[in-house]
Amino acid sequence: MKKTGIYGALSAVGLAAGLAGSAAAQEDTFKIGIITFLSGQAAESFGVPALNGGKLLIDMMNKGDALPAPYNTKGFGGMNIEYVVVDEAGGATKQVQEFRNLVQREEVDAVLGYVSSGDCLAVPPVADELKAFTILYDCGTPRVFEDGKFEYVFRTAAHATMDNISLARYLKSRNFDVPTYAGLNQDYAFGQDSWADFTASMTQIYPDAVIKTALFPKFGAGQYGTEISALLREKPALVHSSNWGGDLQGFLIQATARGLDKRSQLVLSAGDHVIPQLQDKMPDGIFLGARGVNGLAAYARGGELKELTDTMWDAYEAEYGVFPVQAPFRMWQALFGLKTAVEKAMADNGGKKPNDEELVAAMKGLEWDAPSGHIEMALADGHQAIQPNAIGTTKWNADAGKMELVDVEYYAARCVNPPEGTKAADWIAQGFPGAECD
């Protein structure tokens, strides 16, 4: 009885393995496994825009001369870029399994992915076990490299601490008076961490400000009637929120309908990505960030990266009919970083396709330019990036029918990111020692 069952299972797997075929590693192609949300709440906000941006950039890189220097060489050092896509929905258990499948079954040369912080914590130990070069491109939790040490894992985006430090700095630089403030954040790790970072930064920059209330509605709640009532009753001068996606859209629409945005200043740590959906429903005068100089803040920046930014911006708008928000920018900075690392590794090994160890050596401490600014792998022994950040104020341009970001303040990477060896929370609590602000 048992025997029959087991043989059945074995043959089923054998069949499946046969169907899959084995993707033999080829010398003239570089295969990336891309993992991002294709379904669920984070798909519309982050996953799909990031994947769209990634596909676009990979096509442009494969074409060869579609990008300004130094990215005008074909693919990665002449190698054609291929990719397979995996949906990040389904939880960390599934992601660890899929990671193993990508590395061991699909034999990808690099894994690039993960929006969810839970996945970013679960995957690195496996990446090190399998000695597989892995880039975390989006997730925010500082715990990845503060609690652990990983050789084969890199994060090409700054962790979420700078989002809330920048908000507090922005308030100060605009001379905004904050006698009282309140928070509305999603009840899960990102929301809880964001609120903790924001209150800690406010304690440093606005020591006299009083916290009126801290609300943590359920993740995915969608309805904020009671919370908005509480905020209207408490009358804080400022309402902080790290909500994103549908939760942020719901909150903004319900808050403006009841005039909360007129009574309190809304500050959003990651709010830019709902602008394309809300358009003029997005209230004017909100202070918002994009977790980096991304989206409208990058477009408004100009400077020496203008050509690169505009090339990507125009290509994205032409392809998808909407302007790029933060997610594609983070995907781009990961891909530009990967390209730089591969080409550096090839320069070091005489032009062969680099293996995982050579990629690790090239990526450590790397610096490169992306539409979101100059990225430096400055933390966690060269494994964690820091990047500049920007905060701006929303202003609807009725003539052009477009949302604009005005009064944008740009913060140097070292102004809002902790120095090497200091944990983010400690750095804030100590009053930002060694911060290099212009």
Partner 1 sequence: MRYVLFLYAAIAFVVLAAGSIILPDWAMFLFAMALAKGLVCLGIVAMMRGGVVSFGQGLYYCIGAYTATLAANMWGLSDIFLLTLLSSAVCLIVGVIFGPMLATYRGIFFAMLTLALSMVLYGTLSKMSVLGGSDGLNIAPPTFLGWAPEGRDLQTALYIYVVAIVVIAGTLMRIYFDSEQGLITLATRDNELRVEYLGASVRKVMAYNYIFAAVLGGLGGTIAVLALGHVDPEFAFWTTSGEFVFVAILAGYMSVPAVFVAAIILEVVRSFSNLYFPNTWQLSLGIFLLIVIVTLPNGLGSLLSRRKGGKT
> Which residues are near partner 1 by CB under 8 A?
1-10, 12-13, 16-17, 19-20, 38-39, 84-87, 89-94, 96-98, 100-101, 103-106, 117-118, 121-122, 125-126, 129, 141, 143, 147-148, 187-189, 192, 219
Measured distance CA(140)–CA(143) in Å, rounded = 9
Shortest separation between residue 425's beta carbon and partner 1, angstroms? 11
Question: Any idea of the CA torsion for 287, 289, 295, 298, to the nearest 10 degrees?
Answer: 90
Shortest separation between residue 122's beta carbon and partner 1, angstroms? 3
Shortest separation between residue 205's beta carbon and partner 1, angstroms? 23
Nearer to partner 1, 86 or 296 (CB): 86
* Secondary structure class of 31 (helix, strand, coil): strand
* Secondary structure class of 79 (helix, strand, coil): strand
Nearer to partner 1, 119 or 272 (CB): 119
Nearer to partner 1, 94 or 263 (CB): 94
Strand partners, 234: none
Could you list the beta-strand ranges (E) of 166-271: 180-184, 210-215, 238-241, 265-268
Q: How many Cα atoms occupy the beta-carbon half-sphere of 280 within 13 Å?
A: 7
Question: Any idea of the CA torsion for 125, 127, 133, 139, to the nearest 10 degrees?
Answer: -60
Measured distance CA(418)–CA(428) in Å, rounded = 8
Residue 75's Cβ-count burial label (10 Å; 0-12, 13-18, 19+) is buried
Nearer to partner 1, 2 or 233 (CB): 2
Q: Can you give 230-241 as a three-state secondary structure string?
A: HHHHHCCCEEEE
Shortest separation between residue 91's beta carbon and partner 1, angstroms? 4
Shortest separation between residue 282's beta carbon and partner 1, angstroms? 28
Look up residue 66 and give its DSSP letter: S
Shortest separation between residue 7's beta carbon and partner 1, angstroms? 7
Measured distance CA(75)–CA(30) in Å, rounded = 9
Q: Residue-wise over 5-19: b if at least 16 C-beta within 10 A, else e? A: eeeeeeeeeeeeeee
Shortest separation between residue 340's beta carbon and partner 1, angstroms? 27
Shortest separation between residue 35's beta carbon and partner 1, angstroms? 9
Backbone angles phi, psi at 404, to 5 degrees: -120, 160
At position 329, the amino acid (one-letter code) is F
Nearer to partner 1, 57 or 144 (CB): 144
Q: How many Cα atoms occupy the beta-carbon half-sphere of 12 within 13 Å?
A: 6
Nearer to partner 1, 108 or 252 (CB): 108
Nearer to partner 1, 247 or 376 (CB): 247
Nearer to partner 1, 94 or 281 (CB): 94
